[in-house]
Amino acid sequence: MRHGRPALSVAHTRCLIVGPSWVGDMIMAQSLFMALRERNPGLEIDVLAPAWTAPLLARMPEVHAALDLPIGHGELDLKARRRIARELRAHHYAQAIVLPNSLKSALIPWFARIPRRTGFRGEQRYGLLNDLRRLDKARLPRTVQRFVALAMPKNHLPALEDCPRPQLRTDPQAGRVARARLGLEDPRPALGLCPGAEFGPAKRWPSAHYAAVARYYRSRGWQIWVFGSQNDFEVAEAVCRDAGPDCTNLAGRTTLGEAIDLMAQTAAVVSNDSGLMHVAAALDRPLVAVYGSSDPGFTPPLSPTARIERLGLACSPCFQRECPLKHLDCLHGLHPDRIVRALDSLLDATA
C-alpha cells in the first residue's frame, strides 16, 4: 500500500485470526495478514484454523503460529470451544479478527475474553463481537477486499489495489526431494493441471477438455503433472488416461506442502476455480483459470500472470454445486482450443 492511506486499526503486539476452512479463502486471508504487518511490523499474528491448514500457513511469513482448531466444520461442541478459549487466555491477545461469518466462529474469542473482537455482522453475533462491521457488498465485492477491510478503520473500505497480493514462500530443496520421490526428475517443462474442485461438479471443467490441453502441450515437448487431493484421484486419472504418456497423476500422492513446492516448479498451470488455482496465483505461475458456476468478480486469482476464461452464459454464475439445468453448458461449451490460445498468449507475454 502506498503512503497517505489511513493506518490500519491494529496497533497491538498480538492478534488472533479465526481463519477460514477452504484453501482458497486461507490464501486470500494472507492479504489481511500482510496488511496488518505492513502497518504494524512488530505484530504477532496467530491463526486458529483446522490442522490441515498448517502447511499452508507455514508458507506465509506473516504468521507467527498456526493454532489447531480440532472441531469439525459445522460442529458446535461448546465444551471444546471453552477449553480452547481457556488455553488462549494465556496468550493475552489484544484483538481477534473473525473471518467466517458464523456465530460459532465468534465464540472462542468471546470465551477467551479477548478485549477487541472484530468481524462482519452475521448469525446474530451481537455481543460476541464488539467491533462489528456492516458488510457493504457493493463497495467490497471481492472476498480479499472484505478480509482486508477488517484490518482497517470502520469507515475505510479498501479498493482492490489497496490489498496486498498473496505470496506463498516455497522450499526448492523440498520440491526437488518430492520430484525424486514421485519420479518427476525429467527436466522438460511441466504443465500443471488442476481438474478437481471440492465445492462440486459445477466448477469442474470436463476431464476430456483437460486431456486435450495436455495432448497439445505434450506435442510441444512438455510433461504434464495433474494435481489434486485424494478426492480428485478419479478425475485426475481420467485426464491422464485420455492424455497419453508423460502425464502423471499426483492427486492424493502429495502433501499440501509438497503440492505447493511442485507447483512452484511448473512452467504454467490450468485450473478450475479451486484452492489450487489460488495456490498457483500466489506462486505467480502463468495461469489460466476456468470459471463456470462461480463468479471471477468475487474470488479471482490475485496475480498479474493469471487469465480468466469463462463463457458468461445467462445462467451463470449460479453458485450451485451441481448444474440446476442439468447441462453444464458454461463449462462443456468452453472448448480446449480457447484455453490453449489463452495460455499460449500468456506465455508469450511473460517470456
Nearest residue to 285 (alpha-carbon basis) of 273, 267, 302, 299 = 267
Q: In CATH, which of 1.10.10.60, 3.40.50.720, 3.30.1020.10, 3.40.50.2000 is domain 172-350?
A: 3.40.50.2000
What pLDDT, on the 0 to 100 scale, is given for residue 337?
A: 97
Strands lying side by side in the sheet with 247-249: 247-249, 223-226, 190-194, 268-272, 287-290, 306-309
DSSP secondary structure, 152-169, as one string: S-TT----GGGSPPP---
This prediction's pTM:
0.93
Nearest residue to 85 (alpha-carbon basis) of 118, 127, 113, 116 = 113
- What cell was used for 340? 490453449
Residues of the chain within CATH 3.40.50.2000 domain(s) are 14-162, 172-350
Query: Domain 14-162's class?
Result: alpha beta
Compute the distance between CA of residue 97 and CA of residue 306 in angstroms, rounded to an integer.
Answer: 29
Compute the distance between CA of residue 25 and CA of residue 178 in angstroms, rounded to an integer.
Answer: 26
Please give the C-alpha separations between residue 222 and each of 90, 186, 277, 281, in angstroms, as whole numbers: 53, 10, 20, 21
Sites in the chain below the pLDDT cut of 50: 1-12
Compute the distance between CA of residue 214 and CA of residue 239 in angstroms, rounded to an integer.
Answer: 8
The whole-angstrom distance between residue 325's C-alpha and the CA centroid of its chain comes to: 28
Can you name the residues that pair with 307 across neighbouring β-strands?
288
HEC states along 186-202? CCCCEEEEECCCCCCHH
pLDDT tens figures, 90-140: 999 999 999 999 999 999 999 999 999 999 998 788 899 999 999 999 999
Percent of the chain residues past pLDDT 70, beyond the cut: 97
Residue for cell digits 498473496?
A: 166
